[in-house]
Structure 1
Amino acid sequence: MDLFQGTIDYFSEQYFKLKTNSSYAQKYKMPGDVYAIGDYIISIPRDDGDSRYPYGKGGFNFWAYTSGYMHCNEGLFSPFLKANEGKEPKIAFFAGFPDDSENYQVISLLPVPFIENNSGKKVERYTVFTRSCTYYVTETDDMKFAVRVFVDEANRMFFSVLIRNSTAQNRQLFVSAYLNPFLSHNINENDENKWFREIRYIEDCNEYEKDGYEKDRLGSFIIKVNEDLDRTTSVSNIGVVLRNIQPDQNSRLTRHQETTSRYQYVGGSRSSLHTPVALKSGSFGTPRHICTFTETGIIGDILHLDTGRHGQVRYELSLDFLKHCSDDTGAAELLEKRIPGEKLDTKIEQSEMQEKENGGLLSCRVGETVEGPVKDTVFNTFFEHLKKQVEFCSLIKGYVQLFEGSLIGIRDVFQAIEGLIFWKPAAAREKMLEALGFISPDGRCPRQYTLPVREGTAPKMDLRPFIDQGVWVISTITTYLKFTNDFEFLNEKCGYYEIVDEKKSLVKKSSIQDSVLEHLLKIMNYLLSNRDFEGTGCIRALYGDWNDALDGLGVSSDPEKEYGTGVSVMASLQVYQNLQEMLEMLDKIDSSRYSSQITSYKAALRALENVLQKYAIVTGDNGEKRIVHGWGDKRSYIVGGFNDPDGKSRVGLTSNAFWILSKMYELDPGIKDTILDAFNKLDSKYGYKTFDPFFGSDAQGVGRIKKLPPGTAENGAAYIHASAFAVMALFRIGCSGEAWQQLFKLLPFTHEKISCSPFVMPNSYGYNAEKQIDGQSMQDWQTGSSNVVLKTLIKYVFGLEPQFGGVWIQPAKGLPFEEFNFQITVKGCRVNILYRKSGSGNRKYAVNGNNREGIHDEIMMLKKLWISDSELETKSLKIYVED
């Protein structure tokens, strides 16, 4: 039995066990008809949403959906474009069975396209996501099919089809593959694409001919797409689809046909894959082996098979491509890269092992759940996929959503990188160096950037000055230094991009290069230069802050000025945190050399403390205090106060959370009740809302947030990214009971239903009864909620917080699990934290078998343990924690 067959048999056994054993199913069940079993996910197609998983390396994203939709891109280059839901997929596989007439009953081997089943066969479908590949399984009463999709380290795509006769009788049928590749730098398809694309089928030989099985040989397809890089440079993108077929001794390929014509495959310009005419007849008629200019070229075939008693056939396709070829010689190179199925199985097995090994660099297994809605089996699987999500968000190359504005966000990528640091610091280091090279010489960070298409061309950037971009850069690099002690990173050289025309978003490569540390100093100075020196002294909002939808605060009342003195309290608190981080960093590396910066930053720190306490806290008529979100130009109106621009008393979430996270809270812990009262007012079915009440259409000056439907995204919904900031803040001030309650609400697998992938973080949970929105989310995977939840788990649940000079060990109080085993490598030392709940009521620590006394933290209200850098010089530390 080969590995592919054995894997499908195992998944089939698990699927039917889930269907027939309710207690077993309940143990692993997630919402959305999804089951998390060990390292893999079984997902059953549904009509109220979809789950998906990304594959690929180096920013190449191949998306596989439970529904069977697939698409992929690397930046602006898409080998396969995305098809909107309900539309004809770009990748499809079919089987056909002869009926009583001369036609065939056709079933799709993927959940899409939907073809009405008139065969009388009972069809079971399920999708399995592993960390290396996706399996689409279709089972009937007499046949079993599986389509496996795998992307290797070179981003070559492999489609393996398993066809098995489940009976002791002979079966005749056909299988068919349909691929509609794009291989262009674009975000959508237009009428011109077919003019510059050619697909050609060629007869060629494979290993079967050499072994005497000439009848089983299958030809290949060559794709050529022409693109103009500029007025004088034209290049071609070349793709090759190779195919193998491997019948067992009881089966054989009786005949086959190939076509490059979409019209021929589906039945003309008025038909589609939902009604594939050629498959109904089992033939293309006279096949068309070259297609260009007049219609869309595709890769299509029909392979007729005889399968004997329990016979089996494997059918393999691969798509490899080369970009920007100057001639046609690239195809010859790609045609030599055929991989037999058995070697491919081994390659996938090695990939799975490598994924597990990489995952082991940061691992946690929790024991039995003692309270709360989180099952230990599901949580352990979720933690692994959460890491995958954070890595995906860290290493993107832009255009994940395939629209013009889907670039690489400075803020987004640095927040994600701060999570990636904990198990892949080298990859995080490389990405940080990339991103730092796109800031301006004055320390201003663009909101978003793209990688240049080729050397010498200017990247596309979003230059809108969202004030908070740089704050995440400083915080992330500080975390990196604390976690790795890699201070040489500060000496690495990076360039800049100068702004040529801000309105047109035009930039040019600067001749200036200097160190990472100089970049940080310039970012810090840029942030400080944007204080409201005319009035409050807080940080001006400019175009906006982290909350993109609330982009009206920075608008100037003076028509001669683009930006006024409107303030973001959240950004002011983050700059306050940055000043602490820069002071720590400079003191660590060379306090005498940077004495002038240290003096300046200390003065700015004291100034921000004073103005935030003076202006950010307002008092109502009844004496109630509130930390506001910000205010408009010249403090003409306040947002998150007692009388907002729409006349409503409103509470905001992020300023309260960052009052704690920035350590402003520690100056006066007496504000705790004010913050907790705000959190309570924001509580909802799905966690803390970003604002309450929502902004209606009559809210003046606040920006586009009022255009969002009430109860969605940032406008009065549980926008999980913000909610997770608050959860982290609750752990920070010792409110672990409240933190657990809110964390349970945020985790996607604790709800009855969900509109996207329940095994990774979504970006929001909407709620609006009038509009029949109840828990739906805008999207999953590409969302900052993932990194905040991961960092909360690492720092405040499992309890490892790196510092200059050592690390704090501080597992949360009130853990819902009996025990956990957490492993991580810090500053070259393998640290293993083993926690056990004994009920003693007094926390105890032991390091490598030696009892240690913890230190009580008055803010976190728990006993934590300090591990110094000198202790981390040992190869490993085993730290026992008992409550």
Structure 2
Amino acid sequence: MKNFEQEILQLLKDIKITLKNKSEDNYILENTYFLKNGNVLSLERKNGVSRFPYGHDGFTLWAYSSGYISINESTFYLVLPSPEGREPYLAFFLGEDKKGKYFPYSILGGAKNPEEKNIKRYTVYSKECVYYLLETSSFLSGCRIYVTEDKKVSFTVFCKNKTNKLKHIYLSSYMNCLFKYANGECMETKWFKKCSYNNDIFSFESPEDIDRHTHIDNYGIVKREFVLGNLSLSTNTTSKKEFNGSLENSLVNSISLKEGTLKKQKKSTLFTDTAIEGDINQYNLNSKEWVIINYVMAYAHNLDEYTCIKNNLPNFQNIEEQKNKEVDFNKNKYSSTDMLNFEFEGWKDKKVNTTIFNQFLKYVIYQTEYCGLAKNSGAMFLGVRDVMQQVEAALIWNPKACRRKILEVLSFIDSSGNPPRQYSIPPKNGVPLMDLRDFIDQGVWIISTIYTYLSYTKDYSILEEKIGYYDRKNDGVVLSSRIDSVLDHMIQIMNYLIEHIDNDTNCLRAMYGDWNDALDGLGISSDPKEKYGNGVSIMATLQLYSNLQQMIEILEKLHVKEDLVELYKEKRELIKKGVKDNAVVEKDGIKKIVHGWGENQSYYVGSFCDVDNKSRSSLTANAFYVISKMNEENYLDKNDLLLAFSNLDSKYGFKTFEPYFEKNCKGVGRIINLPKGTAENGATYIHGTLFGILACFYLNEEKMAYDQLEKILPFTHDILTTTPCVMPNSYSYNVEEGMDGESMSDWYTGSANTLIKTLIKGSFGIEPNLNGVNINIKNYYPSEKCRCSLKVNNTIIVVSYRKENLIERNILLNGKKIEKNNIFIGDDMLDKTNKISIEIVE
């Protein structure tokens, strides 16, 4: 066991060194630091909480810096979340004998003893596991949590006696597991959950009926292993009431934890009391001696599977071997030349610490891949647009896994080509739960992601893969008998989108809404017989305009469907005319691109006179006017666009809308329920801000783009309510309501993948297409040095910049000077070389 002990002691040493040598090069934000090995140290925070996901194949354990743990796979929850200070469902305790009574310390941090003093807690996130350390004057205790590749969870609880005296202690575990397809409890939960204890094994049974046709017998298991230490007494219970001392008692006031033993050991609990796993294990701990207990949690959905798992659970040594193997795997993966890599050095004006930025970007890359391949988004569902955008970035370095995810998403769309807004992975033989609101933009993200996949991988075989559909029926779905190719699915999606182009304006109808979720009123019809009206989203229209070009290129590359190629060309021309005639408005010599309009163009959003009589700018309409290359038609002057972006600027970057929508604003939907300066209602919704930043890059306004980039990076702020080492969702700003930089959420948010894509396309100008790679050399770089390395098909592309105070700028392609700023490298050249290097030196 010496390796484990050394691991913990080395970790504590690294923590102490970091805290002793605090600097701008290791401090992220609010008691959060990068350790020298790149791991993240999170101390107690006042303004927010950090969290980190662990797991494989969509199975996820969330580890919060506050000590809360939740575990689920899609809609199946092993351990429910406990937000904002509620009693934890899972906890570990160290008990110290003080004159016959025990003083309990929460090891993870949830259900803390209010009388504790002089305690230090550290949470350390590595990519493989999380460490919770508890340090008192007498003890070093803690818990390491690790998730194996086959979805077993290991909780390794330990304690070291730091003193020169014999100490009487206990280590205790409490696990109020669920093991159900549910994301919350109700009065019936305990009726259908049983736990039994025998010989270091706690066995859970949680039968449930998903619907009237689908019965599932869920099983859970927690196996305990006394790894190290001389156990003096172990008491166990399956009863929450017995663990806490009474039915209404809480963990903080647990009588058992204060007495150091479970006086009544209930070996089976069901129906009348909440079934839990609970134990208290006493030790007489000599000076400098260690105690280690390992718990392994697993689950199954039938008795045969449960029996097999029960008989093959890994022991502590197995866990150590698996964890070390994963450490080596990640080390090789993230140092591989196949991995996307960014490097910056010497940011001008020192507005961004590049040491922190480089480490931060590694976690953003991890964030994007983990969330792109997940089975839920932290709630029950996966958003179609969310998954596809994350996959569009993650496929750059993990194309195989992203290929499977693309096929997964496509298998949940309706055979009409209408994707759900959100879907869930169903139980075996079950029907998936879906959010079937008709947000018109879901399909456009699918098309663009598959185009990007083909551009990076040249893997056209994906288009031949056969997959099915789920058709809508009675507000639910049924598995369709129809099975088509991926290309057929894409054509169906395009058919659906084209069918919803408004014939009068040649722009795409908003239906339920677009990317700006809360702006969901434009598609409403005044006719009660009609589900939707002819209101339009210009953002989605511009995305469809891009999709049509992407599909033209794909079909021409394949030499198929000439009739569709002509149709798509025709629709592109009609959309151009529709945008020119209806979406571009002018006043006093200034032009705007509107966000959209309501039924029969009776009111507008993003015009000079909106439905509330205000002149308003829309971020995403302006951004996608550029990103879609509609700006090449010159319907607006560049200065018109820059004026809109200037109007949208704020303390934290471009806002979604300016001004915000007040509560009495009609026809715009539930966005009016959001306070000023939050989410879509006039906040810095970072995902959207990055759309605007990319547009600035395309307009060759690099300085404006980098000014915005500096504002959205969380570690440049004074306050953050989410995890500082990854991208948050948004920044709220409303002085009247006391909001200044708070964020709604983190991890499962589009800002991470959009940051990656914006750096690749905008900062470094790298854009693969079906015929090769375009590289647009930028006029301005924000740092003394910067570098991006990525893989296109089998070729490494490296674009680097460095300042050497030369008289003139030199551009080198594989070491040879060239005069071009726009470089195209065709597939024929990519096929002949393993590496393309472009250096900009000035």
Q: Which residue, 381, 386, 389 being the options, matches 1:415?
A: 389
CA contact (8 A) 1:798 1:811 kept: yes
Shift of 1:629: 0.6
Q: Which residue, 164, 181, 185 being the options, matches 1:185?
A: 181
In the alignment, structure 1 segments of 5+ residues that lack a partner are 204-218, 856-862
Aligned to 1:424: 398
Q: Does 1:871 align with 2:822?
A: no
Q: Which residue, 237, 245, 256 being the options, matches 2:226?
A: 245
Aligned to 1:236: 217
Query: Residue type matched to 1:7 in 2?
Result: E
Aligned to 1:214: none
Q: Does 1:559 align with 2:528?
A: yes
CA contact (8 A) 2:795 2:836 kept: no
CA contact (8 A) 1:845 1:865 kept: no
What CA distance in whole angstroms lies between the structure 2 residues aligned with 1:514 and 1:580? Answer: 23
Matches within 5 A, 1:593-608: 593-608=560-575
Q: Does 1:469 align with 2:421?
A: no
**Gap change, CA 1:253 and 1:866, over 3 Å in 2:** same
Aligned to 1:194: 190
Matches within 5 A, 1:180-579: 180-203=176-199, 219-231=200-212, 234-247=215-228, 252-323=230-301, 325=302, 327=303, 329-359=304-334, 360=336, 361-371=338-348, 372-398=350-376, 400-402=377-379, 406-455=380-429, 457-501=430-474, 505-533=475-503, 535-579=504-548
Aligned to 2:801: 835
Query: Residue type matched to 2:261 in 1?
Result: S
What CA distance in whole angstroms lies between the structure 2 residues aligned with 1:322 and 1:647? Answer: 59
Matches within 5 A, 1:147-186: 147-186=143-182
CA contact (8 A) 1:845 1:879 kept: no
**Gap change, CA 1:615 and 1:514, over 3 Å in 2:** same
Shift of 1:308: 1.9
**Gap change, CA 1:235 and 1:582, over 3 Å in 2:** closer
What CA distance in whole angstroms lies between the structure 2 residues aligned with 1:874 and 1:834? Answer: 22
Q: Which residue, 650, 653, 662 being the options, matches 1:696?
A: 662
Matches within 5 A, 1:586-735: 586-590=555-559, 593-620=560-587, 622-668=588-634, 671-735=637-701
Shift of 1:434: 1.5
What CA distance in whole angstroms lies between the structure 2 residues aligned with 1:519 and 1:461? Answer: 19
Q: Secondary structure at the match of 1:725?
A: helix
What CA distance in whole angstroms lies between the structure 2 residues aligned with 1:586 and 1:233? Answer: 42
What CA distance in whole angstroms lies between the structure 1 residues aligned with 2:529 and 2:213? Answer: 43
Aligned to 1:211: none
Q: Secondary structure at the match of 1:497?
A: strand
What CA distance in whole angstroms lies between the structure 2 residues aligned with 1:576 and 1:766? Answer: 32
Shift of 1:416: 1.4
TM-score by length of 2: 0.96
What CA distance in whole angstroms lies between the structure 2 residues aligned with 1:306 and 1:854? Answer: 77
Query: Residue type matched to 1:181 in 2?
Result: C
What CA distance in whole angstroms lies between the structure 2 residues aligned with 1:676 and 1:712? Answer: 24
Shift of 1:297: 1.4
CA contact (8 A) 2:511 2:535 kept: yes
Q: Does 1:853 align with 2:818?
A: yes
What CA distance in whole angstroms lies between the structure 2 residues aligned with 1:74 and 1:237? Answer: 13
Query: Residue type matched to 2:681 in 1?
Result: N
Q: Percent of pairs identical after alignment?
A: 38
Query: Residue type matched to 2:482 in 1?
Result: I
Matches within 5 A, 1:736-751: 736-751=702-717
Aligned to 1:215: none
Q: Secondary structure at the match of 1:818?
A: strand
**Gap change, CA 1:711 and 1:230, over 3 Å in 2:** closer
Matches within 5 A, 1:6-45: 6-21=6-21, 24-37=22-35, 38-45=37-44
Q: Secondary structure at the match of 1:304?
A: strand
**Gap change, CA 1:797 and 1:630, over 3 Å in 2:** same
What CA distance in whole angstroms lies between the structure 2 residues aligned with 1:229 and 1:485? Answer: 42
Aligned to 1:207: none
Query: Residue type matched to 1:430 in 2?
Result: R
Q: Show CA shifts across 1:689-739 (max 9, x none).
A: 100111001211111111111110010111111111001111112111110
Q: Show CA shifts across 1:759-811 (max 9, x none).
A: 11111100111111111111111111111111112222244211122112346
What CA distance in whole angstroms lies between the structure 1 residues aligned with 2:807 and 2:439? Answer: 47
Q: Which moved more, 1:57-66 or 1:490-499?
A: 490-499
Q: Does 1:99 align with 2:98?
A: yes
Q: Secondary structure at the match of 2:737?
A: coil
CA contact (8 A) 1:133 1:151 kept: yes
Q: Which residue, 748, 754, 766 being the options, matches 1:800?
A: 766
What CA distance in whole angstroms lies between the structure 2 residues aligned with 1:229 and 1:567? Answer: 38
What CA distance in whole angstroms lies between the structure 2 residues aligned with 1:789 and 1:73? Answer: 28
Q: Which moved more, 1:152-161 or 1:463-472?
A: 463-472
**Gap change, CA 1:669 and 1:358, over 3 Å in 2:** farther
Q: Secondary structure at the match of 2:345?
A: coil
Shift of 1:830: 3.0
**Gap change, CA 1:33 and 1:829, over 3 Å in 2:** same
Shift of 1:258: 1.3
**Gap change, CA 1:348 and 1:624, over 3 Å in 2:** same
What CA distance in whole angstroms lies between the structure 2 residues aligned with 1:374 and 1:55? Answer: 29
Q: Secondary structure at the match of 1:368?
A: strand
Shift of 1:346: 2.6
Q: Which moved more, 1:228-237 or 1:161-170?
A: 228-237
TM-score by length of 1: 0.92
Shift of 1:833: 3.7
Q: Which moved more, 1:83-92 or 1:759-768?
A: 83-92
Q: Show CA shifts across 1:815-849 (max 9, x none).
A: 3333344332211223344432323374434344x
**Gap change, CA 1:293 and 1:569, over 3 Å in 2:** same
Shift of 1:196: 1.9
**Gap change, CA 1:507 and 1:233, over 3 Å in 2:** closer
Shift of 1:259: 1.4
Aligned to 1:142: 138
Shift of 1:246: 2.8
Query: Residue type matched to 1:871 in 2?
Result: M
Q: Which moved more, 1:837-846 or 1:144-153?
A: 837-846
Shift of 1:650: 1.0
> What RMSD, in angstroms, separates the aligned Cα atoms of the two structures?
1.9
**Gap change, CA 1:410 and 1:3, over 3 Å in 2:** same
CA contact (8 A) 1:238 1:330 kept: no
**Gap change, CA 1:230 and 1:580, over 3 Å in 2:** closer
**Gap change, CA 1:510 and 1:235, over 3 Å in 2:** closer
CA contact (8 A) 2:192 2:207 kept: yes
Q: Secondary structure at the match of 2:253?
A: coil
In the alignment, structure 2 segments of 5+ residues that lack a partner are none
**Gap change, CA 1:138 and 1:532, over 3 Å in 2:** same
What CA distance in whole angstroms lies between the structure 2 residues aligned with 1:135 and 1:125? Answer: 10
**Gap change, CA 1:803 and 1:123, over 3 Å in 2:** same
Q: Secondary structure at the match of 1:315?
A: strand
